[in-house]
A and B are shown apart, each in its own frame.
Chain A
Amino acid sequence: MTQQNRLQSGGRIDRSKPMTFTYNGKQFTGFQGDTLASAMLANGINVVGRSFKYSRPRGIIACGAEEPNAVLQLGATEATQVPNVRATQQELFNGLVSASTNGWPSVDTDVMGMIGKVGGSMMPPGFYYKTFMFPQSLWDSYETMIRKAAGMGRSPLESDPDTYDNVNQHCDVLIVGAGPSGLAAALTAARGGARVIIADEQSEFGGSLLNTKETLDGKPAAEWVRAVVEELATYEDVMLLPRSTVNGYHDHNFVTIHERCTDHLADIAPVNQARQKHHRVRAKWVVLATGAHERPLVFSNNDVPGCMVSNAVSTYINRYGVVPGNELVLMTTNDYGYQAALDWDDAGRKVVAIVDTRASGKGSRAEAARKRGLNIISGSAVIEVQGSKRVSSVSVAAISADGHKVTGSVTKLKADTVASSGGWSPVIHLSSHTGSRPTWDDQIVGFVPGPTVQKQLTAGGINGQYDTAVALKQGFDAGQKALTEVGLSAAEVVLPKAETLKTDAPMSLFHIPHLKPTSQAPKQFVDYQTDVTAAGIEVACREGFESIEHVKRYTAMGFGTDQGKLGNINGMAVAAKALNKTIPETGTTIFRPNYTPISFGAIAGRNCGALFDPERYSAMHMWHVEHGAKFEDVGQWKRPWYFPQGSETMQQTLDRECLAVRDSVGILDASTLGKIDVQGKDAREFLGRVYSNAWAKLAVGKCRYGLMCGEDGMVFDDGVSACLGDNHFLMTTTTGGAARVLEWLEIYHQTEWPELEVYFNTVTDHWSTLTISGPNSRKLLEELTDYDLSNDNFKFMDWKQMKVAGVPARVFRISFTGELSFEINVQANYGTHVWEKLFEAGKKYNLTPYGTETMHVLRAEKGFIIAGQDTDGSVHPYDLGMGWCVSNQKPFSYIGKRGMNRVDCVRPNRKQLVGLKTKDPKAVIPEGAQAVLDPKEPIPMTMIGHVTSSYWSANLGHSIAMGFIKGGLDKMGETVYYPLANGTVIEAEICSPIFLDPKGERQNV
C-alpha cells in the first residue's frame, strides 16, 4: 500500500523505520513516530467509524485527546483486546491490529446508515423517553434492540495477561503538560533545586512546539525543546513522565497520573514489565500548563470525513509529514486558524479558499496568507458541506456581522478538506476537578480556571494565552512562584526569544447560520460522538430544558468518551442563543476525572487476587493445610472450617469431630481470637465501664466472660478477659471484631476518660492459642507439663502460668464447648511445636483437630451465642436471655446501660433468643428461616423471628437450633412454624437454648 498523503520530507517520523498495521483486516504501512491516526491519514483512510445514533460515516477530525470519532478496537488476541482507543493518541507499532467499532456489515457499507438517514428525523433528543412505552410487555424487546445498537468497542472475554503498578510519588512541583509553558516552568523549578515531576500525555515533550514552524532564538523550536529536556534529565530530583496523562486533580494536591509504559511497543507488555503505571502524586504545588483545544465550527454536514479542526491539519503536516487531503477550504473566526492554510500551502497542495467570518483579519498570519496571494473570502462562512464518505464541495456565503444570518448568495467550491477554527478552549478540566467553577472570559471567548483552594498555578494556553512568548514567560513565572512557595530561592533562566506575531481580535462565533432555519438545515453537529446537533439542542431548549445541565443530560452532549472536549462550549453557545442568554448565564461547564479514560487494571494495580486483601494465617496454618483442612474466611483470617478425612462428607466430618470432643478430646486453633493487653492502675475500672457485667472483684488468676454493648445497649462483641495482675488484664474479642474493639477502647479512653491510667495494646499475633477440649483434655495436658492440673489446684475459670512442652504458657481453664477445656497460650513462634507435641501425646486419646463449624455446633449444644451470628446489632443482653451478664449495681453507668433502658428496649414482646426443638428430630431448620405462628396465613405473613444457629447434633441425636421469637422467653413449650422456600414447613417447639448439660457439670470436673 502506498502512503499517498505522505510528504517526501519533514515531520518527526522516521522514514527509515516502516511499520505495518492492520485496520479492519487490511494491511497498511506507516512509520515510527506516527500515531495510528496519522498513519491512517497517510494511507488515505477516510472513514474510521460510524456514528452512534445516525450511523453516519465519520473521519478523523482532531489530533489528540479531544478526538471524538477515531475510536477504535485494538488488540491482536482475545485477551489483549482494548475497546475505544483514540487513534490520535495511539502510537503506531509494528503489528498493531485495529478495527472500527460500529457499522454492519462494514464501516464503509453500513446498513444502519440507511436507517439513520430514513429514521434519523424521528430521533430528536430524548426520543426514547417519548416512545417504546406501549405495550408495556414489549419494553424488554425494545431494550434489547437499543442495547445492541449502543456501546462502541467490546470488552475482552479473557483475563488480562498484563500487570499494572501503582506508584506513590511526592514532589515540590508537579507540572502538567510539557509544552512551552510547562517546560519553562520545569526548567525554572529544576534549576532552583526543587523536586519536580513533569508529565505529558504525548510520546515526546514539546507540546505545541512539536507541531509548529515557529522558531525560538531563531532556530527551530524543537531544538530548544531538546536542550531543555536534556538538561532536565540531568537533575536527580526531576522526574520526566512522557506518555503520562494527568487524569485527576483531587483534594489537597493529590494528583493521579496514568503512564502507558508499553502500549507503544506491542499489544502485550514485554516480560517483567508493567503495561501501565498509575502514579499517585502528592505535590506541594501544581502547575497546570495544559494548553488549549481548538474548537471546530458548527455548520451543516460538518461531520463528513474531511472536516477537521485547523490545528490538526497543521499538526499532521508539520509533525507527521502527512497532508490529509488535496484541496483545502479553511474557515476561521480568528487569526490562529490561518496557520493551517499556510502549512497546507507549504506542503504544496491547493488552498481553495480561506473563509474568514470576520470583516477582515489583520494579524500576522492573515497578512502572510494575503502576501502569498491565497484566496481569502472575508465576512463569510462555509454554511454547508457536500459529500458522504468524503467532502466533495462546500457552500460559502456572506454572513451578517453578528454571525446570525446568511446575507449573501451561495458559492460552491470544490474541496476535499474543510478545516475550521472557532477559537480555542483552554484545557481547564483538571482545575475544575476539585470543585472550582470555571469563569467565562469574553476577551479570549472561553472559560478559564476559577478561584481554587488548591495550591495551583496556571501558565500558557490554559489562561487563554496562546502566543509562545507569553506562554514561556508565564511558565517561568509559575516556576519561580513555586520555588518561593516551597522555600527555595529564585532560579536563573534566560528564556529564548520567540517570534512576535500580531493577532487580531477573534470573532465570538460558534454556530454558523444556514439558509434554512437550524431545525430544517442539514445536520449541524455539536458533539460528534453522541450525535448531538444544533437542532437537537434547540429542541431541548424549546421543550423547557433550559439549564445547561438539563441540555447536556437531555441531549447526551458531553457524555461520550471524549467528554465533550470539542463540543461542550459550542453546545453552550447554541443553547445560549436559543434561550437568548449569554454563555455564562446558561451555566458553566464542569469536568470530572478522568481527563481521558484509564484501564481499570491500572487503577487496581496489583491489589487483586491474593493481594486484594491480606490473608492472615495462624502459626499452625501449614499444619492445617497439610492435614486437609477446609478454610473459612473470618475477617482477613483463614480459619480451619473442618478437617475432612478420606471421602467423608462435610456432615460426616462434623459428626466425627463433635463426637470426638465429647467422648475424648479435640483441639481447636483459637489463635485468631482478638487479644488486647490492658494495663494500668485503672484497668479494672475501665473494664467495668465497657463491659455490661462487674469486674471490680475479679481476683488475680481468674477469668470472666463479658458482653460489650454500644451506647444504645445493643451487644456488639463478647469474650473472656483474664486478670493477670491487679493492674493487668488480657481481653479477648471475636476474631472479626478485634480491631473495632481496640478502637472502641481507645476512643473512650482518649476522648471521655483520659484521667484513667490505662494502656491498650493489641497482642493477637503475639500468641498462639491451642484449645484442647473434652473429658481427656486434662490427661493429655498432664503429659506435657509438670504443673498440677487437678481440679483443686486449677479450677474452672482460673488461668495459670506453666510450662507446656517445655515452653512458657498461659493456660486458661475456660470452655466454649461445655467440656473440660484448656486454652493453651504460647508465644506464637512456639505454636506449631506445642501443637505437634500435643498430637504426639494425643494419639492414644484419639486427639482430633476440629474447625470452626464443629466449634459452632458444640457451643450451640450449650446455648452459647456467637456475637455477629446470634446478634445483629439490634439485641441487648436481656433479649439474649443473658441478663445474668448485666450488673446494674455498678456505680458507674457503664456503656450500654442507659441505652438498654429506653422505652422501646424495655417494651414487652421484643424478639428474644430461645432454643428451638424440631418436632421431627431429624429436620434441621435452615439458618435464616423465618418463624410464623400460623403457617396457613396468606402472604404477606406475620413473621415473629428467625433462626440464627441451627445444626445436626451427633451427640444428642437430634437437630438443635437457636433463634429469635417475639416474646420468646415467655413462650416456652409453644409451637412455631418455619415455611421454607421449597414449600415445606418445619414445626418446632420453643425451648431453652441449653440442650446439653444444663448444670454445667462436664466443664467443672
Chain B
Amino acid sequence: MFHIYCPHCAEYREEEEFHAAGQAHIPRPLDPDACSDKEWGEYMFFRKNPRGIHHELWVHAAGCRKFFNMTRDTQTYEIKEVYKIGEQPSVVAE
C-alpha cells in the first residue's frame, strides 16, 4: 500500500484515501470538432503505459478531493515526486 504525500493537504496519507485516475498531462483538445476520429480516439484511449518513470493523475478522494500529479516508477513503485495540476514534473524518464 502506497504512502502518498498530498501536495494540497501537505501530509503523508495512506493509499486508501486516494485513487489513481490514469495518465497525467493529457489535455482535452481545444477544438474537439476539428479532431479526426483517430485523433479523438487517441485522446480518449491510447496511453503511454510505461515500464519505469510515469506521470499519473491521482485524486485525494477521501480527503481534500483534489487532483494532483505523481511521478512514480511503475516497476519499483517508488514515488519520485508529487506536484500540483498545471505544474510540470522535475523527474522525467531519460
Binding site for B on A (CB under 8 A): 250-254, 282, 434-435, 453, 711-712, 743, 746-747, 750-752, 754, 893, 897-899, 902-903
Closest partner residue, chain A, to B78 (CB atom) = A453
8 Å CB contact of A747 from B1, B21, B35, B40: B21
Check A250/B31 contact, CB under 8 A, given A750-B66, A750-B67. Answer: no
The listed residue with most A CB atoms (<10 A of its CB), out of B1, B41, B59, B66, is B1
For A282, the chain B residues whose CB sits under 8 A away are 3, 14
Check A898/B33 contact, CB under 8 A, given A251-B77, A253-B3, A750-B66. Answer: yes
Q: How far apart sit A747 and B67, CA to CA, in the bound complex (Å)?
A: 7
Structural contact, A751 and B85, CB atoms closer than 8 A: yes
For B1, the chain A residues whose CB sits under 8 A away are 250-252, 254
For B65, the chain A residues whose CB sits under 8 A away are 743, 746
Interface size on B, residues (CB 8 A): 29
Q: How far apart sit A751 and B40, CA to CA, in the bound complex (Å)?
A: 18
Q: How far is the CB of A310 from chain B (nearest CB, A)?
A: 39
Binding site for A on B (CB under 8 A): 1-3, 14, 21, 27-28, 31-33, 35, 37, 40-41, 43-44, 57, 59, 61, 65-67, 75-79, 85-86
Closest partner residue, chain A, to B86 (CB atom) = A754
Q: How far is the CB of B42 from chain A (nearest CB, A)?
A: 12
8 Å CB contact of B44 from A254, A711, A750, A903: A711
Check A252/B3 contact, CB under 8 A, given A747-B67, A899-B40. Answer: yes
Check A893/B3 contact, CB under 8 A, given A750-B67, A751-B85, A752-B27. Answer: no
Closest partner residue, chain A, to B4 (CB atom) = A252
8 Å CB contact of A743 from B2, B14, B40, B59: B59
Count of chain A to chain B residue pairs whose CB atoms are closer than 8 Å in the complex:
61
Structural contact, B37 and A435, CB atoms closer than 8 A: no
Q: How far is the CB of A238 from chain B (nearest CB, A)?
A: 22
Q: How far apart sit A178 and B77, CA to CA, in the bound complex (Å)?
A: 30
For B85, the chain A residues whose CB sits under 8 A away are 750-751, 754
Structural contact, A899 and B59, CB atoms closer than 8 A: no
Closest partner residue, chain A, to B77 (CB atom) = A251
For A746, the chain B residues whose CB sits under 8 A away are 59, 65-67
Closest partner residue, chain B, to A753 (CB atom) = B28
Closest partner residue, chain B, to A253 (CB atom) = B3
Structural contact, A435 and B76, CB atoms closer than 8 A: yes
Main secondary structure of the interface of A (DSSP, over half): mixed
A-B contact pairs, 20 of them (CB 8 A): A252-B2, A252-B79, A254-B1, A434-B77, A435-B75, A711-B43, A746-B65, A746-B67, A747-B21, A747-B67, A750-B85, A751-B57, A752-B28, A754-B86, A893-B31, A893-B32, A897-B33, A898-B33, A898-B40, A903-B37
Structural contact, B35 and A898, CB atoms closer than 8 A: yes
Q: How far apart sit A898 and B79, CA to CA, in the bound complex (Å)?
A: 35
Closest partner residue, chain A, to B28 (CB atom) = A752
Structural contact, B67 and A453, CB atoms closer than 8 A: no
8 Å CB contact of A453 from B14, B43, B76: B76
For B35, the chain A residues whose CB sits under 8 A away are 898
Structural contact, B33 and A893, CB atoms closer than 8 A: yes
Q: How far is the CB of B85 from chain A (nearest CB, A)?
A: 5
Closest partner residue, chain A, to B22 (CB atom) = A747
Structural contact, B61 and A743, CB atoms closer than 8 A: yes
Q: How far apart sit A946 and B92, CA to CA, in the bound complex (Å)?
A: 49
The listed residue with most B CB atoms (<10 A of its CB), out of A282, A453, A751, is A751
Q: How far apart sit A752 and B57, CA to CA, in the bound complex (Å)?
A: 13
Q: How far apart sit A453 and B78, CA to CA, in the bound complex (Å)?
A: 7
Q: How far apart sit A893 and B76, CA to CA, in the bound complex (Å)?
A: 40
For B78, the chain A residues whose CB sits under 8 A away are 453
Closest partner residue, chain A, to B21 (CB atom) = A747
For A747, the chain B residues whose CB sits under 8 A away are 21, 57, 59, 67
The listed residue with most B CB atoms (<10 A of its CB), out of A252, A453, A754, A903, is A252
For A250, the chain B residues whose CB sits under 8 A away are 1
Q: How far apart sit A898 and B43, CA to CA, in the bound complex (Å)?
A: 11
Q: How far apart sit A893 and B28, CA to CA, in the bound complex (Å)?
A: 11
For A893, the chain B residues whose CB sits under 8 A away are 31-33
Closest partner residue, chain B, to A256 (CB atom) = B1
Q: How far apart sit A897 and B33, CA to CA, in the bound complex (Å)?
A: 8
Q: How far is the CB of B71 from chain A (nearest CB, A)?
A: 14
For B66, the chain A residues whose CB sits under 8 A away are 746, 750
Q: How far apart sit A754 and B2, CA to CA, in the bound complex (Å)?
A: 28
8 Å CB contact of A902 from B31, B40, B61, B75: B40
Q: How far is the CB of B25 from chain A (nearest CB, A)?
A: 9
